[in-house]
Structure 1
Amino acid sequence: MMLKLILPEDKLVKVQAEPGYSLLVAVQDAGIDALPGICNGCCSCGTCLVRIDNVSEQNLSPCYPGEQQILKKLGAGQKTRLACQVMITPELEDAQITLLGKVRPSDHAGN
């Protein structure tokens, strides 16, 4: 399936992604370095922050307490998630996913 990603320089790219993998893995497999993911997807660093638009929160993989804690610590907005915790599902095909990993997350709070 194809995902629509907005890179930090506001460039739209489409990447192939395999259902069942995390969004972080899909981005890294596509050779995009905008999400460092320095904890290797262990939900502890907050460097794989993304904003997901055009999809209902109910259609995303659940946001567990550990992720909620990191998002709160970062001052992240409502539509933001950690890419390491979002699983690729068919519902993401219609989403617009903005990669925020290397920028200051609080700059996007509430967006």
Structure 2
Amino acid sequence: MTTGRVAHRPRLDGGYVIAHETNTVADIIPASFRYFPEFFPTLLKERSRLRFRLGKAFWREAMLPRLWAGSERSPFERFRALKAEVSSKHVVSVLISTEN
């Protein structure tokens, strides 16, 4: 559901995902380079709305094994429930947007 410049949707755990249309943070990860040609047209169109971040996610994904034995836990099992980092700056921005 979108209200003005803020969108929200319910999560299965009862919480909500809240996003501000101008505060989209895109983590740069190894796959970003692989899929860059496909997403480049969208990047050009939306570049003013995106903020890029090279951080922990890049290194976490770069270190993931690409092959594993069938008896080993896969990276997908180990990292099944990733939580997005909350940005205090973005939360304040959303709150200000809802007051106006």
Higher relative contact order (CA 8 A, sep 6+): 1
What TM-score, normalized by structure 1, do the two folds share? Answer: 0.27
Structure ID, larger Rg: 2
Which protein has the bigger helix share?
A: 2
